[in-house]
Structures are given as structure tokens and as C-alpha cells.
């Protein structure tokens, strides 16, 4: 791994790009929901929640990335969020293909003290049961696209860890 790549965690622009990317993902989801009339299922809402967390982590990291401890903690949190996103996307694909018999009800599973579906219903309200995700322009379903994307993001962030422990680039 190149030295330059391993130092990316210390640059605010890296984190701002990650936040912008997460925001774009949320806007695409909202376009599919409101523009193309594909209501989100509980797994889709879970993906939106994890992406929202990733955006928040990235924004905080952009502000604090010059300091080692916050940079490392926020990078580990971002890797964890991308791992959770990969798992949720895998569940979407498995549900689409009938590989799982898991529960997919109309309840987000959040504790009562974090009612995101009441605070932001336009983004986090479950509208449909699981079973399929819409086709994307390149011939994959949204679940398949998200699975590949989030797995790649996880694998792209992990090599930043060694550089995150070093002092930032000035």
C-alpha cells in the first residue's frame, strides 16, 4: 500500500468526500422512493440508518482528523458502519433470492428513545415488506449494487488504519 493512500485518513477532504458520497446514496434512495414510487422495506431503512451514521461519522472526522485518537476511533467506527452496511445489503440480496427465512416485518427495531421513523418519516419510515429491490440502470438489483459497493468501501477503508495511527500530514 502506498504511503500516500495510508495517510488519507488524516485529510479532511477524504472525510468530506465520504460524507458527500453517503449523502448522494441517500438522495438516490429518496429518488427511488418519491420519484419512482419504490417504498422502502425495513432492510432498506436499516441501510439508510447506517448510511446516515456513516455521514455523521465522516463529518465529525473531517473536523477532528488532525488528532490521532479521534481519527482512529472515527475510522474504526466508519469501517464498522461499512461492515454493517455490507451485512444489511447481503440480507437484501438473500431475501430477494429466497435464501433466508428471516423476519422482515414493518418494525424498525429501534429503541423507543430513538424514534427516527417519527422524527424523519420522509427518510426512515418503512412502507413495504421485503422481497425485492428495484433494478438499477446497469442490470443489477439495488441490493446487489449495494452489496458490492459496501463491501468495496469496507475493503478500501481497512488499509487506512495503519496510517491513521501515525501523525497527520501537515
Q: What is the pLDDT of residues 41-94, one digit of tens each?
A: 888 999 999 999 999 999 999 999 888 899 999 999 999 999 999 999 999 899
Crossing angle, helix 12-30 and helix 42-64, to 10 degrees? 160
Where does the pLDDT of residue 17 fall: very low under 50, low under 70, confident under 90, or very high at 90 and above? very high
- The candidate with the shortest Cα–Cα distance to 44, out of 158, 115, 130, is 130
Q: Where are the domains of the chain?
A: 7-159
Give, in words, the CATH class of 7-159. Answer: mainly alpha
Tell how far CA 89 is from the center of its chain. Answer: 10
pLDDT, residue 77, reads 96
34 Cβ neighbours under 8 A, 6+ residues apart: none
pLDDT, residue 162, reads 84
Where does residue 114 rank: exposed (0-12), middle (13-18), buried (19+ CB within 10 A)?
Answer: exposed
pTM greater than 0.85: yes
Name 90's bridge partners.
none
Amino acid at each position: 500500500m502506498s504511503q500516500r493512500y495510508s495517510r488519507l485518513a488524516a485529510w479532511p477532504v477524504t472525510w468530506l468526500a465520504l460524507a458527500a458520497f453517503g449523502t448522494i446514496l441517500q438522495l438516490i434512495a429518496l429518488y427511488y422512493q418519491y420519484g419512482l414510487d419504490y417504498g422502502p422495506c425495513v432492510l432498506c431503512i436499516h441501510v439508510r440508518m447506517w448510511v446516515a451514521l456513516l455521514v455523521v461519522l465522516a463529518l465529525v472526522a473531517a473536523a477532528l482528523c488532525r488528532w490521532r485518537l479521534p481519527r482512529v476511533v472515527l475510522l474504526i467506527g466508519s469501517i464498522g458502519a461499512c461492515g454493517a452496511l455490507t451485512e444489511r445489503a447481503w440480507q437484501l440480496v438473500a431475501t430477494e433470492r429466497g435464501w433466508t427465512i428471516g423476519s422482515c416485518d414493518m418494525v424498525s427495531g429501534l429503541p423507543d428513545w430513538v424514534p427516527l421513523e417519527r422524527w424523519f418519516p420522509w427518510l426512515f419510515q418503512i412502507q413495504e415488506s421485503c422481497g425485492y429491490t428495484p433494478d438499477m440502470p446497469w442490470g443489477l438489483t439495488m441490493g446487489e449494487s449495494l452489496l458490492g459497493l459496501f463491501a468495496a468501501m469496507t475493503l478500501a477503508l481497512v488499509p487506512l488504519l495503519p496510517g491513521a495511527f501515525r501523525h497527520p500530514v501537515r
